Amino acid sequence: MSEVKISAAEVNKLRQATGAGMMDCKKALVEAGGDFDKAIDVLRKKGQKVAEKRADRDSSEGAAAIKINDDNTSGVAIVLGCETDFVGKNESFLELASQFADIAINYDTKEDFLKADFGGMTVAEKLVEQTGVVGEKLEINAFEKLNAPYVGSYVHINKIGALVGLNKENEGVAKDVAMQVASMGATSLSYKGFDPAYVASETEARIAVIEKDNEELGRLGKPLKNVPQYISMSQLTPEVMAKAEEDAKAQLAAEGKPEKIWGNILPGKMERFVSDNTTLDQEQCLLDQKFIKDEKKTVAEYVAGEGVEVLDFKRVSLG
């Protein structure tokens, strides 16, 4: 039986539809007897075989992509994962990630997104097809949706994506805060969102680490680290703050400072007490972090000064 003649136009049409290489497209068309739809199925089956072989591979490389709707009230951030940085930087791979994000904006969950249509197949099927094309495991490693009166975003070199929801439109603040989210990796909007059990456990763990460090520092004759009593504003009750102020006054008295000047000194001491005992908040709470563009103020102080409120944020990254 003679081989079916396949034109360059037919090969190019299949290549445009699937992203597969020219030779793979030609072989698929030949195998399908020139039938375009069957050729797509041939490529899809090839992708399934490759996907099965590479199912246990680590897809820790890839690209983060974001899509915001036309009125800036909804945004989605995804990570299209692959196996190597080489593939993750490829233009066609980045374009595929962008196409997936364009579809993802219409869905609220990863599950529904994977079932969505992508040129006559589902997103999940497209991932399998492209696994065959690329030769690496491809999957959606992250999917985050955010809705707010105004949604802004920032993508850092296709590796980290951040969405920020504000109570009203302010493009500059939204971008600034999204950059903060991307670079500083907050996990919570405010200390008010912490589980008390988590804070208690983290406090115990951090104190244990510092005390162990101090044993070694003491052995070497070096200055010891401060051992905090607390690590979050959620622990600084009115009673705790009152006791801290009493202690500060007692210290000032012991130092022989005149009581008439305590009012000038106490605010700074109390500010230092709060700073020393809220390290968890400063690390993990977006609003309590030092603002990356001006470390003299917190993110909360920055946005308040701009007359807006941060309602929520989402962050995705590779790995």
141 and 29 inside one domain: no
User: What is the pLDDT at residue 57?
Assistant: 73
264 and 296 inside one domain: yes
This prediction has a pTM of 0.78
**Residue 18 belongs to some domain of the structure:** yes
45 and 75 inside one domain: no
- Provide the β-strand partners of residue 156: 160
35 and 67 inside one domain: no
90 and 123 inside one domain: yes
253 and 275 inside one domain: yes
Structural domain tally of the chain? 3
User: What is the pLDDT at residue 3?
Assistant: 60
User: What is the pLDDT at residue 51?
Assistant: 59
117 and 155 inside one domain: yes
Each residue of 130-147: pLDDT tens digit?
A: 888 888 889 999 999 999
**Residue 129 belongs to some domain of the structure:** yes
Q: For the chain, which ranges sit under pLDDT 50? A: 1
**Residue 299 belongs to some domain of the structure:** yes
User: What is the pLDDT at residue 50?
Assistant: 67
200 and 291 inside one domain: yes
Domain boundaries, position 137? 61-163
272 and 303 inside one domain: yes
Cα Rg of the chain, angstroms = 28
User: What is the pLDDT at residue 33?
Assistant: 83
CATH classification at residue 26: 1.10.8.10
201 and 307 inside one domain: yes
Phi–psi pair at 305, nearest 5 degrees: -65, -25
* Rounded CA separation 208/194 (Å): 21
Residue 142: both structure tokens together: 């992250």
152 and 204 inside one domain: no
User: What is the pLDDT at residue 52?
Assistant: 67
User: What is the pLDDT at residue 1?
Assistant: 42
